[in-house]
């Protein structure tokens, strides 16, 4: 088992997104997942019914003890919910995880439309986490919130990535799944240039947790020593296979099959 990923994110009681999706993804790709739970949610495939934040000091303590004992080769953040938790994660990563790559998935809204980040926390997210990230992975609505730009084309995605860079992250992956197109395009802007990843759209309502899954898959690749472009390419392949093999659970946006690359035992 190679590649230690420390994940700071919320729990999804339905198991399709959040910490549950993150841990399954890291494990499926051969890494080791540790976690700092930032919030508990009562959630199914249709919506988020309730959110119970974890105290910021306890989020920081979860991270500190893991970093001090197990260590991490990459830190990945997901749903954070409030400004105090954002600041606790940012400070702990800087003080106890110096030099560890940071992947920030700026989770703002659940697949069913429920808000997962308090409105007052948006500025803190941009300044304290996005600005310090080695990679930030917004979808189009998240990129619009971070930049104030309307995004309707791939060229708009490139402009958004350029503006997000001004906040400070080293690399930006703008995910294009929300564009109306038969071809899904993701753009990776990084110090080596602009990489374009394209693949045919998979028609499925079972896409709950795809953002969490992709970011965690990339973080696993980084933790395992892969270069960023290769980590993104493998993560996209894994996610596509997981969507294609989705078990079909739930009445809403169902989960993907995170175990698609794990061979059964026995």
DSSP labels, 43-107: E-SS-EEEEEEPPHHHHHHHHHHHHHHT--SEEEE----SHHHHHHHHHHHHHHSTTS-EEE---
DSSP H/E element including 8: strand 4-12
Catalytic residue among 24, 76, 111, 175: 175
Examine the residue annotation and report whether 211 is marked as an active-site residue of this protein: yes
**Cα–Cα distance, 209 to 203 (Å, whole number):** 16
Catalytic residue among 207, 213, 220, 221: 207
Catalytic residue among 3, 97, 209, 221: 209
Catalytic residue among 210, 213, 220, 221: 210
Catalytic residue among 14, 78, 211, 221: 211
Examine the residue annotation and report whether 147 is marked as an active-site residue of this protein: no
Examine the residue annotation and report whether 210 is marked as an active-site residue of this protein: yes
Query: Are the C-beta atoms of residues 214 and 222 closer than 8 Å to each other?
Result: no
**Cα–Cα distance, 91 to 114 (Å, whole number):** 28
Catalytic residue among 25, 212, 213, 221: 212
Q: How far apart are the first and last CA of the chain?
A: 20
Q: Which residues are catalytic?
A: 175, 207, 209-212
């Amino acid at each position: 088992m190679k590649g230690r990923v420390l994940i700071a994110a919320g729990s999804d009681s339905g198991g399709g997104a959040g910490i549950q999706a993150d841990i399954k993804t890291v494990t499926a790709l051969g890494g080791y997942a540790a976690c700092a739970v930032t919030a508990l949610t009562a959630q199914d495939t249709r919506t988020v019914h309730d959110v119970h934040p974890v105290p910021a000091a306890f989020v920081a303590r979860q991270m500190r003890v893991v970093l001090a004992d197990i260590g991490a080769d990459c830190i990945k953040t997901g749903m954070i919910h409030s400004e105090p938790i954002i600041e606790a994660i940012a400070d702990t990563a800087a003080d106890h995880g110096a030099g560890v790559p940071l992947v920030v998935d700026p989770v703002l809204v659940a697949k069913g439309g429920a808000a997962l980040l308090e409105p007052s926390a948006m500025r803190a997210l941009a300044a304290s986490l996005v600005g310090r990230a080695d990679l930030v992975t917004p979808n189009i609505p998240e990129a619009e919130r971070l930049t104030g730009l309307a995004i309707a084309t791939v060229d708009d995605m490139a402009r958004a990535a350029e503006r997000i860079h001004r906040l400070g992250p080293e690399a930006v992956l703008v995910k294009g799944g929300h564009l109306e197109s038969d071809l899904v395009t993701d753009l990776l802007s990084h110090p080596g240039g602009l990489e374009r990843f394209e693949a045919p759209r998979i028609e499925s309502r079972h896409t709950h947790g795809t953002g969490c899954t992709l970011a965690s898959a990339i973080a696993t690749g980084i933790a395992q020593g892969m270069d960023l472009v290769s980590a993104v390419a493998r993560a996209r392949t894994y996610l596509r296979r997981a969507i294609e093999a989705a078990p079909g659970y739930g009445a809403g946006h169902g989960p993907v099959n995170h175990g698609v690359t794990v061979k059964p035992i026995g």
